[in-house]
Amino acid sequence: MRRVAGAASLAFAVGLCGAAPAVDGPRSGAADMSAELQAMQRDDGANPGMLWVADGEALWRRPAGSRQRSCASCHGDATRSMRGVAARYPAYDAASRRPIDLRGRIEACRTRAQGQAPSRPESAEALALEAYVAHQSRGLPLAPPADPRLAPARARGEALFRQRIGQLDLSCAQCHEQHAGGRLGGSRIPQGHPNGYPLYRLEWQSLGSLQRRLRNCMTGVRAEPHDWGAPALIELELYLAQRARGLNVEAPAVRP
Amino acid sequence: MARALITAPRTAKRGEIIEIRTLIAHPMETGHRNDGQGRLLPRDIIRRLRCDYDGERVFEAELFPAIAANPYVVFTTVATASGTLSLRWEGDNGFAQTETVAITVT
């Protein structure tokens, strides 16, 4: 019963009051948040992530790099051209012949098409653009591509998800599958879905990417975190997207 | 960059109470934290938020180190006449930002 009530409040949180969500499907972390935090996420005037989205909108139109091209020069109006894009990432990049996540895609545009230097991980600029692009998919279900070229990487991602790591000898699955819904200290353990990223975390007092979250968890179990943009992290992101298939994109979400 | 979000009604009836919601990007560094090397991070906060309604001060707030980053401040005022609401944030290290919102009162 509690689960049903939670799922209903999630639907409210992402502004989809009509359709009843599947009770046994993946459950967004938003459903386990306090009513106040859900309201904060829902309200664009109170959601601090919207500050980054507003920045991203300005960056989208600003010509940059050696070619003095803006994102809009090629992609036009993001509200149309970027609708649903974030819901399909990570995806296979034919040019580099490997899977890339949304940040990787934006970086590729930045270096190849604009002729800019690569951005630092978690730089305000990179987060703002990613937030702006992801925001265009808000309310759409995650739809990871069925591209067979992604399958091996996705399988490696799942293996990593189930691999015990670190001095605490814990896998992602032990917390986020076996003990999801339970408590760790005072906090509810979420199922660990990637549908709100980049998101504003109160603990960070800032917007942050999924990789920041993953590296946080790795440090939390006293493991050496993978480097920013490492193939292992992309593979994990691929599996997480598959696992959360159908959950609505909430970017920029708010989390405690 | 657009670093402040203001939500206020564009139009209001005379005498109506209107709500102004403000969100501004700012680290609100307390001055009590250390960096990775153990050095104290200098304080960097917003000290004051003021709102003038056609030149008349209708709201003023002092902010302190315990306030979270990207402070969100909501206040109300009475719509008296068509005009502009001018919001000004001031803080450490010469931080100053002004945003204006036009309101039509009928």
CATH number at residue A124: 1.10.760.10
Chain A residue nearest residue B71, CA to CA: A48
Query: In which domain, by residue range, is A217 found?
Result: 2-46+142-255
B49 to chain A, minimum CA–CA distance in Å? 17
Tell me, yes or no, whether A149 and A236 share the same domain.
yes
Residues A212 and A86 in one domain: no
Two tokens at A2?
């509690």
Q: Taking CB atoms and an 8 Å cutoff, what residues of chain B touch A127?
A: none
- A-chain residue closest to B29, CA distance: A205
Same domain, yes or no, for A58 and A21?
no
Residue to test with chain A: of B5, B21, B99, most A Cβ within 10 A: B5
For residue A23, name the pLDDT band (cuts at 50, 70, 90): low
Taking any CB pair shorter than 8 Å as contact, residues of chain A touching chain B are: 44-46, 48, 50-51, 54-55, 57-58, 202, 205-206
Given an 8 Å threshold on Cβ–Cβ distance, is A57 in contact with B28? no
Q: Which chain B residues are within 8 Å of A206, Cβ to Cβ?
A: 69
pLDDT at A24: 73
Q: Which of A36, A62, A205 to mutate to test the interface with B (most CBs of B within 10 A)?
A: A205
Question: Residue A126: in which H helix or E strand, if any?
Answer: helix A124-135
Task: Look at residue B95 in the predicted model and tell me its pLDDT.
Answer: 93
Residues A197 and A152 in one domain: yes
**Can you give the three-state secondary structure of chain B, one letter per residue?**
CCCEEEECCCEECCCCEEEEEEEECCCCECCCCECCCCCECCCECEEEEEEEECCEEEEEEECCCCCCCCCEEEEEEECCCCEEEEEEEEEHHHCEEEEEEEEEEC
Together in a domain, A8 and A100: no
Taking a C-beta distance cutoff of 8 angstroms, is the pair A209, A103 a contact?
A: yes
Tokens of A210: 């999924």
User: In this structure, are A42 and A148 located in the same domain?
Assistant: yes
Global pTM reads 0.88
CATH 2.60.40.10 corresponds to the domain B4-105: yes
What is the tally of structural domains in chain A?
Answer: 2
pLDDT at residue A148 above 50? yes
Summary mean pLDDT of chain A: 90
Mind telling me how many Å the CA of B25 is from chain A's nearest CA?
7
Do A31 and A87 lie in one domain? The reply is no
Domain termination site, one of A107, A135, A163: A135
Residue ending a domain, among A112, A135, A158, is A135
Residues B61 and B47: their CA atoms lie apart, in Å, by 8
Q: Which helix (H) or strand (E) holds A231?
A: helix A231-243
Contact A51 B69 (CB under 8 A): no
* Contact residues on chain A for B25, CB-CB shorter than 8 A: 48, 51
Q: Sorting pLDDT into bands at 50, 70 and 90, what band is A21?
A: very low
The predicted-structure confidence for A239-249, as pLDDT tens digits, reads as follows: 999 999 999 99
CA distance, residue B41 to nearest chain A CA (Å) = 16
Region A209-218: mean pLDDT is 96
Are residues A248 and A153 part of one domain?
Answer: yes
In a shared domain, residues A156 and A250 = yes
Domain match, A130 and A212 both? no
Instruction: Report the alpha-carbon distance of residue A93 to residue A100 in Å, rounded.
Output: 6
A41 contacts in chain B (CB < 8 Å): none
Of A44, A58, A205, the CB nearest to B2: A58
Does the annotation count A17 as an active-site position? no
Q: Are residues A69 and A156 in the same domain?
A: no
Domain boundary among A135, A154, A181: A135
Does the pLDDT value for residue A2 go beyond 50?
no
Task: Name A73's Cβ contacts closer than 8 Å, sequence gap at least 6.
Answer: A63
pLDDT digits (tens, 9 = 90+) for A54-113: 999 999 999 999 999 999 999 999 999 999 999 999 999 999 999 999 999 999 999 999
Map out the domains of chain B as residue ranges.
Answer: 4-105
- Same domain membership, residue A61 and residue A82: yes
